[in-house]
């Protein structure tokens, strides 16, 4: 099958690899422009571009999609199908209609739940026990197209967004393979989404990372997991920023929200209980256990974790 692939980050790489391995003719790859990274802000190519170049597949990185040029290019290329995986841009109608069989998207949630840019993080932040991957025919809306296939997977009680990202990335490639097989045989289902059941997963705002100890232990622990590996949940002690990499609920202990309740374990009071910070990264230092960190502080009692600036 002649396929145009549109994707940008690590999540999309296994899907492109699967299409290449299965012998499809990848006519072109579209990806976001190179971005500056690291201390030197050197321009770095996105992972999908690197994989495409390794296989000598032409790569295009347009900054505009609505001027008609990409649509005209695709019509001239005449692909059977476009596969879109975490491309990061909404496609206008003239691009969606260019491939003969339309555009298929791989989305990291069980649609119509968690439409939007950050479904993996929000599934963890929301305390979901199950998530999955869905393929759909794309339309002009935000993840609103007709469904093709969906596969579920449980979310582990201590699983971080980063760990779930890796698992869903691999699952997405398997679901895409099954989807392409159905489309090739002409037996792909097409099921309308129930918009009344839709929820949304907007982009992660860095302001969300500041822990609010007026939340419950479960809410705080889910946020810590959902923001790992980026941007990481944060608090401050003595005016110094601390990243929280792992936490566990301690529901049987009560105290004033934000108060540190133990000098041997990093336990902080919150609404209806407390949380223990198991792994932390103090400002300017490497990650360490919360217990080692708090013992090194030699607390006198009455110390509080606060939002920065308070």
Are 149 and 75 found together in one domain? Answer: yes
User: In terms of residue numbers, what domain contains 18?
Assistant: 2-197
Are 141 and 119 found together in one domain? Answer: yes
Task: Enter the pTM of the model.
Answer: 0.95
Q: Is the pLDDT of residue 199 over 80?
A: yes
Domain stop point among 169, 197, 225: 197
Are 187 and 267 found together in one domain? Answer: no
Are 160 and 210 found together in one domain? Answer: no
Give the model's pLDDT for residue 306: 87
Are 162 and 211 found together in one domain? Answer: no
Are 58 and 165 found together in one domain? Answer: yes
pLDDT digits (tens, 9 = 90+) for 287-300: 999 999 999 988 87
pLDDT digits (tens, 9 = 90+) for 51-92: 999 999 999 999 999 999 999 999 999 999 999 999 999 999
Are 160 and 23 found together in one domain? Answer: yes
Domain stop point among 171, 197, 223: 197
Nearest to 186 by CA among 1, 61, 62: 1
Domain stop point among 197, 232, 267: 197
Are 36 and 138 found together in one domain? Answer: yes
For the domain that residue 220 is a member of, what is the CATH number? 3.10.25.10
DSSP codes joined into one string, the chain: -EEEEEE-SGGGHHHHHHHHHTT-EEEEEE-PPPEEETTTTEEE--HHHHHHHHTT--EE--S-STTSHHHHHHHHH--SEEEEES--SPPPHHHHTSSTT-EEEEESSSTTTTBSS-HHHHHHHTT-SEEEEEEEE--SSSS-SPEEEEEEEEPPTT--HHHHHHHHHHHHHHHHHHHHHHHHHT----B---GGG--B-PPPPGGGGB--TTS-HHHHHHHHHHTTTTT-EEEEETTEEEEEEEEEEETT---STTBB--SSS-EEEETTEEEEEEEEEETTS--EEHHHHHHHHT--S--BEE-TT-
Beta bridge partners of residue 44, listed in sequence order: 35
For the domain that residue 6 is a member of, what is the CATH number? 3.40.50.170
Are 121 and 184 found together in one domain? Answer: yes
Average pLDDT across the chain, whole number: 95
Burial 24-38 (b: 16+ CB within 10 A, else e): bebbbbbbbeeeeee
Are 103 and 135 found together in one domain? Answer: yes
Q: Give the whole-angstrom CA distance, residue 224 versus residue 277.
A: 10
Nearest to 295 by CA among 261, 257, 264, 254: 264
pLDDT digits (tens, 9 = 90+) for 246-273: 999 998 889 999 999 998 999 999 999 9
Nearest to 295 by CA among 275, 267, 255, 274: 267
Are 210 and 189 found together in one domain? Answer: no
Distance of CA 232 to the CA centre of its chain: 13
Choice between 211 and 299, residue whose per-residue pLDDT is larger: 211
Are 116 and 70 found together in one domain? Answer: yes
Q: Give the whole-angstrom CA distance, residue 139 versus residue 103.
A: 8
The total of structural domains in the chain comes to: 2
């Amino acid at each position: 099958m002649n396929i145009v692939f549109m994707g940008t980050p690590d999540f999309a790489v296994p899907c492109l690899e699967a299409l290449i391995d299965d012998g499809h003719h990848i006519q072109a790859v579209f990806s976001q422009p190179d971005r500056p990274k690291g201390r030197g802000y050197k321009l770095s190519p996105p992972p999908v571009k690197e994989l495409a170049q390794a296989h000598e597949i032409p790569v295009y990185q347009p900054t505009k999609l609505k001027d008609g040029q990409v649509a005209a290019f695709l019509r001239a290329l005449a692909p059977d199908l476009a596969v879109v995986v975490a491309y990061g841009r909404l496609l206008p109608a003239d691009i969606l209609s260019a491939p003969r069989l339309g555009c298929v998207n791989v989305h990291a949630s069980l649609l119509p739940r968690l439409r939007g840019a950050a479904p993996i993080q929000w599934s963890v932040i929301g305390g979901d026990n199950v998530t999955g991957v869905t393929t759909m025919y794309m339309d002009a809306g935000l993840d609103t197209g007709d469904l093709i296939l969906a596969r579920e997977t449980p979310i582990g009680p201590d699983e971080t967004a980063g760990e779930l990202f890796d698992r869903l990335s691999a699952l997405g490639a398997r679901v895409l393979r099954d989807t392409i097989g159905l489309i090739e045989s002409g037996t792909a289902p097409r099921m309308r989404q129930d918009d009344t059941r839709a929820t949304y997963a907007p982009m992660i705002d860095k302001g969300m990372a500041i822990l609010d100890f007026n939340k419950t232990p479960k809410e705080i622990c889910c946020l810590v997991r959902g923001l790992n590996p980026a941007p990481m949940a944060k608090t401050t002690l003595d005016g110094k920023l601390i990243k929280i990499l792992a936490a566990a609920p301690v529901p049987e202990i009560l105290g004033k929200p934000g108060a540190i309740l133990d000098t041997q374990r990093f336990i902080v009071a919150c609404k209806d209980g407390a949380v223990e910070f198991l792994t932390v990264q103090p400002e300017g230092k490497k990650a360490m256990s919360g217990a080692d960190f708090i013992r090194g502080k030699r607390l006198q009692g009455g110390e509080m974790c606060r939002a920065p600036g308070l």
